[in-house]
Amino acid sequence: MFPCINFDERFADFTSAWVTEHRNEYKNFDAMEDDMPRVYMAFLNEPAPWLDGVTPGSYFTQYEDPKDLVDWLIAYGREGVPVPDLLLEQIEFVGKPCEKRLVALLKDETGEISAETRMTAIGLLRTMESTQPKMLYISWQLNRQEEDELADNALESLADMGASALQPMLEALPKANDAGQAALLDVLCGHPGNEQVFRTALRLFEERPERCALFASYLAKLEDDRALPALVRRSADPATSYLDYIELRSAIERLGGTAPERDFTDDPAYEALAGLD
């Protein structure tokens, strides 16, 4: 196994030595900060004894085997050492051959791979514009919790995949729990015109008053004025808070309607915002 060297610490040491040597060149701290890109380039290009004379900038470029690179990423996560940007850049450079290994990493259910490493893998695959994990990401939405950073990160990738992800997401929509349907709608509502999407968004709006602002924003994006009666009704409800009303009013106006006037003088959020004027 390759060593998991803390490049952040090494750069910090290099910077400290640099500042000591060049401190008379800087008028103030801001000037020194402005010079950090040059310091970093010097760090990348100076042969390092701790790398047996190899420069930090070329260290990871010696390796192109996808298994070695992804296993190295996993090892960094396991040991709790910050993953060097230089390793990530090399994985991106090798590109497609690394995709399969990264997807396999995401499928691992042993619990041995850290959540941070999995998040990093999603980011790498997104940068590579990979669609390989599409069905895996969709499966994560089916029985998800409302708060799920990994599934949210995957959802961002599904959005970036564009049209290629829409049909399988539509097929998954009725199979997902409420949290999963809300997540899938976040992407699907960006593509108006599908009746199933509209009905699901409207149903969740009616059934989940505590999240009415979210589902109102989805209905607004769908640009279907059939949602207006439900939106107006909710905006007129005395139980609807001022903050929710703002989102509801925005959705109603986007769909061509007019929100009812409300008095929110007893709403703490209204009072707080009014005090900022």
Q: Which residues of 25-55 are buried (b: 16+ CB within 10 A; e: fewer)?
A: eeeeeeebeeeeeebeeebbeeebeeeeeee
Q: How far is CA 150 from CA 85, 117, 153, in A?
A: 21, 11, 5
The C-alpha atoms of residue 223 and residue 198 are separated, in whole angstroms, by 10
| Residue from 183, 213, 219, 177 nearest 199 by CA | 219
The C-alpha atoms of residue 227 and residue 134 are separated, in whole angstroms, by 31
Amino acid identity of residue 165, one-letter, is A
260-268 CB contacts, 8 Å cutoff, 24+ apart? 260/232, 260/235, 260/236, 262/235, 262/236, 267/241, 267/242
Ordered by start, the domain boundaries in the chain are: 1-132
DSSP-assigned states of every residue in 145-165:
-SS-HHHHHHHHHHHHHTHHH
The C-alpha atoms of residue 125 and residue 56 are separated, in whole angstroms, by 24
Determine the pLDDT at residue 272.
78
Which residue carries 């041995």 as its tokens? 112
| Residue from 129, 191, 193, 186 nearest 157 by CA | 129
Determine the pLDDT at residue 277.
54
CB contact at 8 A, 82 and 6 = yes
Phi first, then psi: give them for residue 35, nearest 5 degrees.
-90, 0
The C-alpha atoms of residue 68 and residue 70 are separated, in whole angstroms, by 6
Determine the pLDDT at residue 275.
57
The C-alpha atoms of residue 80 and residue 96 are separated, in whole angstroms, by 27
pLDDT < 50 stretches in the chain = none
